[in-house]
């Protein structure tokens, strides 16, 4: 963890931090990136480019069930980009890989359905010829969708549309053009609603004819920009501590130099005191996801190194968190993976997903305060972890102690009373997933998170 003073971007100090992620299903194929995750009806759903996850065949949509990723029966015909729970309906924004039209989809807990008319892309020249839908939100009681399209049904609608009750409507001319020196395609990537305004970020130059360069604001009447915008694509936007943050592949806003991350100070985009830089000249560095979880801002994407205002650096593979003054790199993060999905489960577990070059990654970290406590004590050692069911529990000699194991739902699935022994072997016949092993004896009580494959 590194502590920074954000008002002047001065390094204050460094302390050790031992929290890190554990890969799930490391011995099983996940054949594509996880892009996004969302909670729906008390379960976590994940989507992306994968058709295999944790030994299960799945059509681009998976469910976190009892501590393990499994297939979801509805599936998708093309990769998904965003899942949004709006009014107890799961909306699905997805890529289009094989035909020339696409739709917003929704899942009502029973079936998967198309929402309104389909979208088309007719003007792309050098990047994509297919209409992708990237995000969906609710603004002033209406569903809003953004993506790569310039026609909806028979209407000319560019980049963003609002549901009018029985058809999709244009929003004051929509989004057009591309940021200078970028791919010539309309690429709005994420929506956010904040303080009565609708924000949209991506790669576009104009909103309703106003030059905005990657970030636009709709107040219900007209479009406006925020400062000079950016010199490259903006992928993510979030509010943290009542301040707006943006992330992407940009390196500049006006005359301000930025490293893929920026904070709005009320008049211009500035550095929050750190940013992200490549390891080699071939690295494509980008911030994809910004999520506030438990009063911390999680920042994820194609990250390699974090650079602070004093030019010192740390490894930060794929993900960091920021609490307003300190940065946590999770022991270097997840090397060789881009991270895009970040979510806290109803069981207070932090899940992440991503991947690179056709290989997927899903990982987990336990509830923060518990992990801190476990790492600080370091009296019990459980290995190997992840495990195929054969575990060794190593601890100080205790006359009488117990080992209890709970699943991710808090249900007791194993318990054993043991007489003093410094090392004890377990052979567990339990389904794959995440479990919590509790050792209790005398004054000692510790919990370890265990992943069974």
pLDDT score recorded for residue 397: 64
Kindly state whether residues 226 and 288 are assigned to the same domain.
yes
For position 269, what pLDDT does the model report?
98
Q: Which segment of 253-262, 372-381, 439-448 scores lowest on mean pLDDT?
A: 372-381
The tokens describing 250, both together, are 């940009």
Average pLDDT over residues 218-234: 98
Chain segment 157-179, per-residue pLDDT in tens: 999 999 999 999 999 999 999 99
Sign of the C-alpha dihedral, residues 245, 134, 344, 369?
Answer: negative
pLDDT at position 18: 45
User: Phi and psi dihedrals of 313, rounded to 5?
Assistant: -135, 160
The single residue listed with the structure tokens 């996004």 is: 36
Per-residue pLDDT at 101 exceeds 80: yes
Residues 413, 304 share a domain: no
- State phi, psi for 368 to the nearest 5 degrees: -55, -50
Cβ within 8 Å of residue 154, ≥6 positions away: none
Residue 412's pLDDT is 86
pLDDT in tens, 24-38: 988 888 999 999 999
What's the confidence (pLDDT) of residue 124?
58
The label of the residue with tokens 């943006």 reads 246
**Stronger pLDDT, 429 or 371, i.e. the higher one:** 429
Q: Are 160 and 188 in contact (CB under 8 A)?
A: yes
Determine the structural domain holding residue 159 and report its residue range: 2-368
Cα(58)–Cα(180) distance, rounded to whole angstroms?
39
**Which of 343, 368, 393 is a domain's end point?**
368
Q: Is 226 exposed, middle or buried (0-12, 13-18, 19+ CB in 10 A)?
A: buried
Report the distance separating Cα 407 and Cα 405, nearest Å.
Answer: 7
Same domain, 75 and 180: yes
Query: Do residues 281 and 385 both lie within one domain?
Result: no
Residue 98, φ and ψ in degrees, nearest 5: -135, -15
Got the DSSP string for 34-56?
EEEEEEETTEEEEEES-SEETTE
In 208-325 the beta strands, taken as DSSP E runs, fall at: 210-211, 215-218, 223-224, 234-240, 243-248, 252-253, 256-257, 261-264, 269-270, 274-277, 286-293, 296-302, 305-308, 313-315, 319-322
Give the pLDDT band of residue 108 (cuts 50, 70, 90).
very high
pLDDT of 89 reads: 97
**Domain end call among 336, 368, 400:** 368
The phi, psi pair for 88, rounded to 5°, reads 60, 30
By mean pLDDT, which of 39-48, 108-117, 352-361, 381-390 is the weakest?
Answer: 381-390
Average pLDDT, the chain: 88
Q: Is residue 187 part of a domain?
A: yes
Backbone angles phi, psi at 374, to 5 degrees: -60, -45
Query: Which position has the higher pLDDT, 7 or 124?
Result: 124
Query: Domains in the chain: how many in total?
Result: 2
Residue 336, pLDDT score: 92
Tokens of 177: 């053009």
- Residue 374 covered by a domain: no
Whether 65 contacts 77, CB under 8 Å: no
366 vs 450, which has greater pLDDT? 450
Are 362 and 307 part of one and the same domain? yes
Q: Are residues 159 and 74 in the same domain?
A: yes
DSSP lists the bridge partners of residue 447 as 438
Q: What is the rounded average pLDDT of the residues 75-89? A: 96
CA distance 437 to 450: 7
pLDDT in tens, 307-355: 999 999 999 999 999 999 999 999 999 999 999 999 999 988 899 999 9
3-class SS shares of the chain: helix, strand, coil, % to 5: 0, 55, 45
Confidence of residue 192 (pLDDT cuts 50, 70, 90): very high
Same domain, 179 and 256: yes
CATH of the domain at 341: 2.130.10.10
Q: Quick check: 61 pLDDT over 70?
A: yes
Q: Is 207 within 8 Å of 175 (Cβ atoms)? A: yes
Note whether 233 and 293 are same-domain residues.
yes
Question: Sorting pLDDT into bands at 50, 70 and 90, what band is 13?
Answer: very low
* Cβ proximity of 163 and 116 under 8 Å: yes
Of 303, 335, 368, the last residue of a domain is 368
Query: How far is it, in rounded angstroms, from Cα 245 to Cα 181?
Result: 23
Nearest to 449, CA basis, from 361, 383, 360, 362: 383
* CATH of residue 402: 2.60.40.3080
């Amino acid at each position: 963890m590194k502590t920074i003073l954000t008002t002047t971007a001065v390094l204050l100090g460094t302390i050790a931090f031992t929290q890190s992620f554990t890969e799930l299903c490391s011995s099983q194929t996940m054949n594509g990136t996880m892009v996004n995750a969302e909670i729906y009806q008390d379960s976590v759903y994940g989507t992306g480019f994968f058709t295999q996850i944790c030994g299960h065949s799945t059509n681009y949509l998976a469910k976190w069930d009892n501590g393990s990723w499994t297939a979801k029966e509805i599936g998708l015909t093309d990769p998904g980009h965003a899942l949004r729970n709006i009014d107890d309906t799961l909306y699905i924004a997805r890529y289009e890989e094989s035909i020339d039209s696409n739709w917003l989809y929704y899942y009502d807990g029973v079936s998967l359905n198309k929402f309104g008319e389909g979208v088309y892309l007719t003007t792309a020249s050098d990047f994509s010829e297919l209409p992708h839908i990237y995000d969906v939100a609710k603004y002033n009681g209406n569903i809003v969708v953004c993506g790569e399209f310039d026609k909806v049904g028979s209407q000319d609608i560019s980049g963003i549309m609002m549901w009018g009750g029985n058809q999709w409507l244009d929003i004051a001319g929509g989004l057009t053009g591309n940021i200078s020196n970028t791919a010539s395609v309309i690429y709005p990537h994420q929506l956010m609603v904040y303080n009565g305004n609708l924000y949209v970020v991506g790669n576009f130059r104009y909103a309703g004819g106003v030059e905005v360069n990657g970030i636009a604001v709709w107040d219900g009447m007209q479009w406006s920009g925020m400062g000079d915008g950016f010199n490259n694509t903006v992928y993510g936007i979030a509010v943290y501590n009542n301040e707006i943050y943006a992330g992407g592949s940009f390196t500049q806003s006006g005359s301000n130099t930025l490293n893929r991350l920026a904070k709005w100070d009320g008049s211009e985009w500035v550095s929050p005191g750190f940013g992200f830089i490549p390891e080699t000249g071939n690295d494509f560095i980008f911030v994809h996801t910004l999520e506030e979880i438990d009063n911390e801002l999680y920042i994820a994407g194609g990250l390699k190194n974090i650079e602070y205002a004093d030019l010192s650096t740390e490894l930060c593979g794929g993900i960091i968190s920021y609490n307003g003054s300190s940065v946590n790199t999770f022991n270097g993060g997840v090397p060789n993976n881009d991270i895009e999905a970040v979510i806290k489960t109803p069981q207070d577990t932090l899940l992440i997903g991503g991947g690179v070059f056709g290989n997927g990654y899903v990982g987990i970290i336990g509830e923060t305060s518990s992990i801190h406590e476990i790492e600080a004590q370091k009296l019990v050692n459980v290995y190997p972890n992840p495990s195929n069911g054969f575990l060794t529990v190593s601890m100080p000699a205790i006359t009488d102690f117990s080992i209890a194991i709970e699943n991710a739902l808090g249900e007791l699935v194993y318990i054993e009373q043991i007489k003093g022994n410094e090392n004890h072997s377990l052979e567990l016949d339990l389904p794959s997933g995440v479990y919590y092993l509790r050792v209790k004896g005398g004054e000692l009580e510790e919990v370890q998170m265990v992943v069974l494959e």
